[in-house]
A and B are shown apart, each in its own frame.
Chain A
Amino acid sequence: AQSVTQLGSHVSVSEGALVLLRCNYSSSVPPYLFWYVQYPNQGLQLLLKYTSAATLVKGINGFEAEFKKSETSFHLTKPSAHMSDAAEYFCAVSDQAGTASKLTFGTGTRLQVTL
């Protein structure tokens, strides 16, 4: 079975600082990997996805992630944090090759951005 582990349930950064949210995955098939963001009382918004094309994936709002097969990692980064980035972030892996219809999520990382 596929799984993801997000290290750090809470991360706090200063505005303008680098954001690094960690995600490691386990998958028995070539993985599709995703990062989603959730604002309070909202659904999930897709930030970016890896589907076996380029290993460095650029997403919305200045976020990017690098797929590293040797490290089974898919960490999310943003060079400069904004106050509006404060939210909860979820890493997810597809349970079935070639489809996003059944996802396994990590436990989430709440990002706090301080002045």
Chain B
Amino acid sequence: KAGVTQTPRYLIKTRGQQVTLSCSPISGHRSVSWYQQTPGQGLQFLFEYFSETQRNKGNFPGRFSGRQFSNSRSEMNVSTLELGDSALYLCASSLTGPPSTEAFFGQGTRLTVV
């Protein structure tokens, strides 16, 4: 069974640009969550999508947005990139809950903003 797939693995963007990251969940998983990992702030929850609807949202500015497609694949978009957006962005998928007792993570997309 294939795991969570994130593309691309690495990305370099210039300040002010926008970027789109992609996440394909495990087959049958309908919940996709996104996390940002930085040395200073650690792992922080961005948002969760379920059945093409945002179900939960963390404390991030509106420049961070996402969507989910009917096949459960999800994309995350960051507009007007800032240097502080440099981070490892992790996607996790899980079954609808309850019970939803595991979140499976992808390998992440390393975004560098210069």
Contacts and interface: CB of A to CB of B under 8 A. Distances in A.
A101 to B, nearest CB: 4
A103 interface: yes
Contacts, number: 75
Nearest to A105: B43
18 contacts: A42-B108, A43-B4, A43-B90, A43-B108, A44-B92, A46-B104, A51-B99, A98-B99, A98-B100, A100-B103, A101-B48, A101-B92, A102-B45, A102-B56, A103-B45, A105-B42, A108-B42, A108-B43
A13 B35 CA distance: 30
Contacts of B103: 34, 46, 100-101, 103
What DSSP secondary structure best describes chain B's contact surface? strand
Interface string B81-114: 0000000001010100111111111111010000
Interface residues of B, number: 29
A106 B37 CA distance: 12
A44 B97 contact: no
A49 B101 CA distance: 8
Interface in A21-61: 32, 34, 36, 41-46, 49, 51
Interface string B36-68: 000000111100101000011000000000000
A107 B44 CA distance: 10
A98 B98 CA distance: 5
Contacts of B104: 46
